[in-house]
Amino acid sequence: MEEKRALGLYVHIPFCKSKCVYCDFYSLPHSEEKMDAYADALRAQLRAFAPRAADHRVDSVYFGGGTPSYFGAARLCALLKTIFDLYDVTPDAEITLEANPESARSVDALHALRTAGFNRISLGMQSADDDELRAIGRIHTNAQTAQAVACARQAGFSNLSLDLIYGLPTQTSERWRKNLSAAIALAPEHLSCYGLKVEPGTPLYAIREQAQLPDDEAQADMYLETVETLARSGYPQYEISNFARPGRESRHNLKYWTLGEYLGFGPGAHSDFGGRRFAWARDLDAFLAGEIERSEDSVIAPRSRAAEYLMLGLRTTRGIRAEDCALPFGPAEKVLRECGQHGLAECAGERWRLTPQGFLVSNAVIVRVLEAMDL
Ligand code: SF4
């Protein structure tokens, strides 16, 4: 019998208690009254796609947002049960819940989630400094992060990730170093460290000139120090912004970078499934009315798949190799060899990957590689 293909499921929860000033994710504050209807609409969408995924086995499920923990344990547990009922979820599937420390401090609720099948929790710590947290509109404190970690451990979560942001308003290297140390002291299995991006349309963008943001050079120094510090502390880098204890890399997120198949549910969610790439419009009301449309939908042509392989593979420390590239690899290798002379790329065995210095300018390197490949 042919083996079933692996599949990841992403469930988008677009609710937050309030909006952070830097956020351009699809998340809506003050919409609690829509949560029950949203759970019903998600169930309908999960049901509609289940027959199409019958020849797949689900080895990762990711509830992201928004703030899934704010959606409430009862709704989350019920939705996960729907997934178990409708999809072939493997016994060892990685099942992640994103959580805000402020709404993940009840051992009972976390225990209910753990019992329902969630086995990984990703906490949005962002900073260990309460002034920094306030400045970006986060509603939690550093003490609440520590409480959330303790509660998650008590509830039985042995796979825990922390998200941090560097380059925050007024942040110095010294303060970032303290944040990183505070996160390491909480002994997570996984860390994601993102540089702050000031996205047009966000409140932070409007005040960017007065926000005392660290400049590009300062952010670059923070990044390089992060890679080194985390490697020394037992968290080797495996993707531009992601670090993990060996064996604790996020299986779900790796699907995005290694061209695995995934299905996304809810407004704004993206899918790469059955050779098509599609996304649902960012429109909660249309979703609730069962009238959501696709904001993009295309068959993935072999050349764009090859471009994705190069682009996404160069985000990871596993890198890329000729054997896995659908097109002649020579032109890409020539660019990477040149980058290697400047310390931006390196060849390990037959694989090419970017160095931490190279990750800092990954967009420019990837553009050069794609141009050389005529993609
Ligand atoms: S908690 Fe996350 S999704 Fe919600 S507003 Fe803040 S950054 Fe955006």
Q: Which pLDDT score is estimated for 28?
A: 87
Beta carbons within 8 Å of 241's beta carbon, 6+ residues apart: 192, 193, 194, 195
Does the beta carbon of 153 lie inside 6 Å of ligand 1? no
Report which protein residue has its CA nearest ligand 1's atom 2.
66
Total residue count of the chain as it appears in this document: 375
Which is it for the CA torsion 162, 166, 169, 170, positive or negative?
positive
The number of the ligand 1 atom at minimal distance from the alpha carbon of 23 is: 8
Q: What is the rounded (10 degree) CA torsion for 76, 128, 19, 16?
A: 10
Does the beta carbon of 25 lie inside 6 Å of ligand 1? yes
pLDDT along the chain (375 residues), means of 10: 90 94 89 94 97 97 94 97 98 97 94 98 98 95 97 98 97 97 98 96 94 95 98 98 98 96 97 97 95 96 95 97 94 97 95 97 97 94
Q: Which amino acid is at 64?
A: G
Tokens of 154: 């008590």
The number of the ligand 1 atom at minimal distance from the alpha carbon of 18 is: 5
Q: Which pLDDT score is estimated for 57?
A: 98
Does the beta carbon of 19 lie inside 6 Å of ligand 1? yes
Angle at 242 between CA 241 and CA 243, to 5 degrees: 135
Q: Which pLDDT score is estimated for 1?
A: 62
Report which protein residue has its CA nearest ligand 1's atom 5.
19
